[in-house]
Amino acid sequence: MANPTPGAWSEVCLVTLWDGTTTMEIASWLRPADLIQSGDREVTFEPSLAGGRIDLHEPEEDTEITIEGRFIGIGDTDDTSPDGMVSHFYDGTDSSAPYSVDNYFAAAVRKTFNIWILWSDDSTVASGTGAIVSGANAMRARCVAARFVSCKQSFSDGKQLWTLKFRIPARTKSGAKTITWESTDGTAAMTSLGTLTST
């Protein structure tokens, strides 16, 4: 992807989604946005009778990924580069044009998504899950068990814009991790990733 400013990273990155069946590359439809808002790990302090304070750890909050996209369709559910995400939001099944999806589908099951976001100056990598060669810089977020919770359209500036939001719990129901960050500074390679059920 050959990001030109590895010292600070620019708006250029790769975004890969996996819905349990299809691996989708969607960066070409996206514009720079908030991306990852990591969940806070709050603590409160309770007075003790000795005049001190006891720190009480709050559970880690959900992480949110917000993406803004200039999509022109509702999306093909088995396309590796879909032109929209509405069909995925409503758990549609159409895989050939013309596409149609309703907001209520009796047999729909809300899917979980894996999301990979990769910044790199490696000119050979073309996917958020791709390997990084030794000598290149990279930073990647790996997220699993994400739920697609918001898919909003606006036309306020005379251009269609979709804002997508995914919510990721700090842990799965069984306590498995859901988010991993990794990077390399040019001294070591990073391996490619499969469509894993955990990070």
Which CATH number does the domain housing residue 86 bear?
2.30.110
In a domain, 6, yes or no: no
Asked whether residue 7 is domain-assigned, the answer is no
User: CA-CA distance, 2 to 19, in Å (whole number)?
Assistant: 27
Domain count across the chain: 1
Range of the domain at 147: 14-41+54-185
Q: Answer whether residue 197 is part of any domain.
A: no
Pairing of strands 43-47, 161-168: unpaired
- Residue 4 included in any domain: no
Compute the distance between CA of residue 119 and CA of residue 139 in angstroms, rounded to an integer.
Answer: 5
Residue 101 lies in a domain: yes
Q: Kindly state whether residue 198 falls inside one of the protein's structural domains.
A: no
Backbone φ, ψ for residue 88 (5° rounding): -70, -35
Per-residue model confidence (pLDDT) at position 77 = 87
Q: What pLDDT tens digit does each residue of the chain (199 aa) get?
A: 656 566 678 778 999 999 999 999 999 999 887 889 999 999 999 999 999 999 999 999 999 999 999 999 999 989 999 999 999 999 888 888 899 998 887 667 788 999 999 999 998 999 999 999 999 999 999 999 999 999 999 998 899 999 999 999 999 999 999 999 999 998 999 998 876 655 5
**103 is a domain residue:** yes
Looking at the domain assignment, is residue 192 inside a domain?
A: no
pTM equals 0.89
State how far the Cα of 143 lies from the Cα of 124, in Å rounded to an integer: 23
